[in-house]
Chain A
């Protein structure tokens, strides 16, 4: 086997390796969903999330549960499609900041962000096995 042939085999092997990892990861993500309820703040996808870290963390004052979805476990009956619905309950928090004296002071009280609950609908499927 020439060097070029070996290189070609190696390239094919590497391509197959990458493809297999990608396919495995895709399969792991799954496409079956089951309805669930989750805390609203955990679902926020915009830039204005509560800041729970640092020396002056924001304080969550309301975090209601909202309808959402989970990825189905293998073999677990679920639904195939997801439907975004209108903004639902609010995640509410107080915004704090350090002032010039190094004190943590309340800047905005009751900042609200809508959760966007996602409900599950459509044809049924079972677990993660089905794409």
Chain B
């Protein structure tokens, strides 16, 4: 009887362990596919928790007073903004459908700030601010600074961190151990290849065998091996089981890292995405049309980066868009410099030849 009980318990433990590991692997694989696997609408805000000392402002002002290029002007600007508007808070909504997405960032408390929206289809995209509409082509063809790569990758990480905190990073790591204890707590130890060398990366979570589901509760990144210093942590809390989700999404994420100021991300809303809504919010507004999120358009400049050469169009008083001449664009200006330098060089060579000929004639 005792032997039979032990056998049954062992079987349950093994089954639960295997189930938990299979679930864990599914979540990580889901995160590995990035935005391609997602079809949702999520709104969240990220607040900087960086401790800023505004008492230094007078001394900084005095220090940079006569130096317009002084590097401390960056710090001064941040401190002044912090003093006037409080901590930086970014609020954004992401609509993502099989790798295509719209990110809508709201203005901050700074009254001089404004919204910024980007829409990416992979083979094309556009971005919108109150003053500009920018059009881009395929991801490979986009000019630097207009690739959308950074905001998309940063948003993808944040979205995945709400769904399964740490899973997106784990998807790039080599998972070496998965341990489930009898209370349902699990941890996964992995090695992450980073630009600074291999680092141990540990993710923790909970497993509920009765539901066959669980949650990712946090992670920590070590400087090198497991025994080395922890240099980055992510703590997730207030998990809420959500229909259609492999793991229970977290509502609050706390980031702490040596590389960047601490910040807190708070989930505002998370819902499945209606394809009709996605189609509506990713439709490009016409010149005098309206955007479903921002209302009637107000942009007065169109930057078209879809062709070989960038084209800029600026609205006149009648809101008719006129193309800015090539020589008035950054690209055109560079070409003009090259052209002028070429002419200058040619003139110099010509004068040299003439002088040499004159000299030869005189010598003869």
A residues neighboring B (CB under 8 Å): 1, 9, 13, 16-17, 20-21, 24-25, 27-29, 36-39, 41-42, 46-48, 50, 52-53, 56-65, 70-71, 73, 90, 93-94, 96-110, 112
Q: How far is the CB of B259 from chain A (nearest CB, A)?
A: 4
Interfacial chain A residues near B324, Cβ < 8 Å: 36-38, 65
Q: Tell me whether A102 and B348 are in contact in the complex, defined as CB-CB below 8 angstroms, given that A13-B356, A94-B151, A112-B112 are known contacts.
A: no
The reply to whether B344 and A101 contact each other, CB–CB distance below 8 Å, is no
A30 closest partner in B (C-beta): B340
Interfacial chain A residues near B169, Cβ < 8 Å: 101, 103
Q: How far is the CB of A64 from chain B (nearest CB, A)?
A: 5
Selected from B312, B341, B344, the residue in CB contact (under 8 A) with A65 is B312
B residues neighboring A (CB under 8 Å): 46, 68-69, 71, 73-74, 77-78, 88, 90, 105, 108, 110, 112-114, 116, 127, 129, 131-132, 143-151, 153-154, 157, 169, 172, 192-196, 199, 201, 221, 231-232, 257-261, 300-301, 303, 312, 314, 324-325, 327-330, 333, 336, 340-341, 343-345, 347-348, 351-352, 355-356, 359, 363
Q: How far is the CB of B133 from chain A (nearest CB, A)?
A: 12
The reply to whether A64 and B301 contact each other, CB–CB distance below 8 Å, is yes
How distant is the Cα of A106 from the Cα of B73 in the complex, in angstroms? 20
Interfacial chain B residues near A102, Cβ < 8 Å: 172, 192-195
The reply to whether B131 and A29 contact each other, CB–CB distance below 8 Å, is no
Show 11 residue pairs from A and B whose CB-CB distance is below 8 angstroms, ordered by the A residue.
A13-B356, A24-B347, A27-B344, A47-B71, A59-B148, A65-B324, A70-B327, A96-B150, A100-B231, A100-B258, A110-B108
Give me 12 other A-B pairs in contact (C-beta within 8 A), A17-B352, A47-B69, A103-B157 excluded: A17-B351, A25-B344, A39-B303, A39-B329, A52-B144, A57-B147, A58-B150, A97-B259, A103-B154, A105-B154, A105-B260, A109-B105
B201 closest partner in A (C-beta): A101
Interfacial chain A residues near B157, Cβ < 8 Å: 103, 105
Q: Tell me whether A70 and B328 are in contact in the complex, defined as CB-CB below 8 angstroms, given that A24-B348, A100-B232 are known contacts.
A: yes
Interfacial chain B residues near A105, Cβ < 8 Å: 154, 157, 259-260
The reply to whether B341 and A28 contact each other, CB–CB distance below 8 Å, is yes
The reply to whether A99 and B259 contact each other, CB–CB distance below 8 Å, is yes
How distant is the Cα of A100 from the Cα of B114 in the complex, in angstroms? 31
A110 closest partner in B (C-beta): B113
The reply to whether A39 and B355 contact each other, CB–CB distance below 8 Å, is no
B157 closest partner in A (C-beta): A103
How distant is the Cα of A112 from the Cα of B300 in the complex, in angstroms? 19
Q: How far is the CB of A129 from chain B (nearest CB, A)?
A: 13
Q: Tell me whether A16 and B328 are in contact in the complex, defined as CB-CB below 8 angstroms, given that A21-B344, A62-B131, A100-B199 are known contacts.
A: no
How distant is the Cα of A94 from the Cα of B194 in the complex, in angstroms? 23
Selected from A73, A96, A100, the residue in CB contact (under 8 A) with B196 is A100
The reply to whether A46 and B221 contact each other, CB–CB distance below 8 Å, is no
The reply to whether A42 and B147 contact each other, CB–CB distance below 8 Å, is no
How distant is the Cα of A96 from the Cα of B221 in the complex, in angstroms? 20
Interfacial chain B residues near A9, Cβ < 8 Å: 359
Q: How far is the CB of B67 from chain A (nearest CB, A)?
A: 11
Selected from A37, A90, A99, A109, the residue in CB contact (under 8 A) with B328 is A37
The reply to whether A59 and B199 contact each other, CB–CB distance below 8 Å, is no
The reply to whether B151 and A106 contact each other, CB–CB distance below 8 Å, is yes
How distant is the Cα of A107 from the Cα of B90 in the complex, in angstroms? 11
How distant is the Cα of A105 from the Cα of B150 in the complex, in angstroms? 8
How distant is the Cα of A113 from the Cα of B146 in the complex, in angstroms? 18
The reply to whether B116 and A61 contact each other, CB–CB distance below 8 Å, is yes
Interfacial chain B residues near A29, Cβ < 8 Å: 340
Interfacial chain B residues near A71, Cβ < 8 Å: 336, 340
Q: How far is the CB of A30 from chain B (nearest CB, A)?
A: 8
B115 closest partner in A (C-beta): A61
How distant is the Cα of A36 from the Cα of B157 in the complex, in angstroms? 41
Selected from B90, B116, B201, the residue in CB contact (under 8 A) with A62 is B116
Q: How far is the CB of B305 from chain A (nearest CB, A)?
A: 11
Selected from B172, B328, B345, the residue in CB contact (under 8 A) with A38 is B328
Interfacial chain A residues near B363, Cβ < 8 Å: 1
Q: Tell me whether A101 and B221 are in contact in the complex, defined as CB-CB below 8 angstroms, given that A47-B71, A59-B150 are known contacts.
A: yes
The reply to whether A103 and B328 contact each other, CB–CB distance below 8 Å, is no
How distant is the Cα of A100 from the Cα of B286 in the complex, in angstroms? 42
How distant is the Cα of A57 from the Cα of B260 in the complex, in angstroms? 16
Question: Nearest 5 CB-CB pairs, A to B?
Answer: A52-B145, A52-B144, A21-B348, A42-B330, A20-B351
